[in-house]
Amino acid sequence: MKRLRDDSEPQSLEPTGPTIPPIAGAPIQCPDCLAHFTDYASFELHVYNHNFTCHECNKSFPSKAFLNLHIDENHNPFLKIKQERGEKIFKCFLYSQDGCTKVCSSPKKRRLHMIDKHGYPKTFHFEVVNRGMK
């Protein structure tokens, strides 16, 4: 059986996405290399330099956490069965971080959760979990 990700290290979903501060003007920190940015546009350009690649479809992701979400939601046959049964499989990008344990029934509901509860900008590239970075 083909392994899609390295499970030799403990899985951590911290952080599962970029740290988007709810207060305008607050510094943004890259969760992977800890670089700091004063605006979202600079941070977004920066994350395209990171390379976490799915070995199944060769798509690249801005962090290991996004790669792991991609693998689960797109290549995990067990989660596909759960989804077909109507179970929720779309984890919050900050799942288990800050006490958030939200799992949604659709990517659209996850997007609304990320905007409403975690202050993500509406312009965030939420499709990154499926499409990767171009």
What digits encode the pLDDT tens for the residues 44-66?
Answer: 777 777 678 999 999 988 888 89
For residue 12, tell me if it sits in a domain: no
User: Residue 9: what pLDDT?
Assistant: 45
For residue 126, tell me if it sits in a domain: yes
pLDDT at 15 over 80: no
For residue 19, tell me if it sits in a domain: no
User: Residue 96: what pLDDT?
Assistant: 74
For residue 23, tell me if it sits in a domain: no
* 3-27 mean pLDDT: 49
For residue 118, tell me if it sits in a domain: yes
pLDDT at 2 over 50: no
**What is the residue-wise DSSP string for the chain?**
----S--SSPP--SSSS----SSTT--EE-TTT--EESSHHHHHHHHTT--EE-TTT--EESSHHHHHHHHHHHH-HHHHHHHHTT---EE-TTTTSTT---EESSHHHHHHHHHHHH---TTS-TTHHHH-B-
For residue 17, tell me if it sits in a domain: no
Tell me the residue range of the domain where 69 lies: 28-131
User: Residue 63: what pLDDT?
Assistant: 82
For residue 69, tell me if it sits in a domain: yes
Structural domains of the chain, count: 1
For residue 14, tell me if it sits in a domain: no
Separation CA 13–CA 129 (nearest Å): 14
User: Residue 112: what pLDDT?
Assistant: 98
User: What's the pTM value of the predicted model, to 2 decimals?
Assistant: 0.64
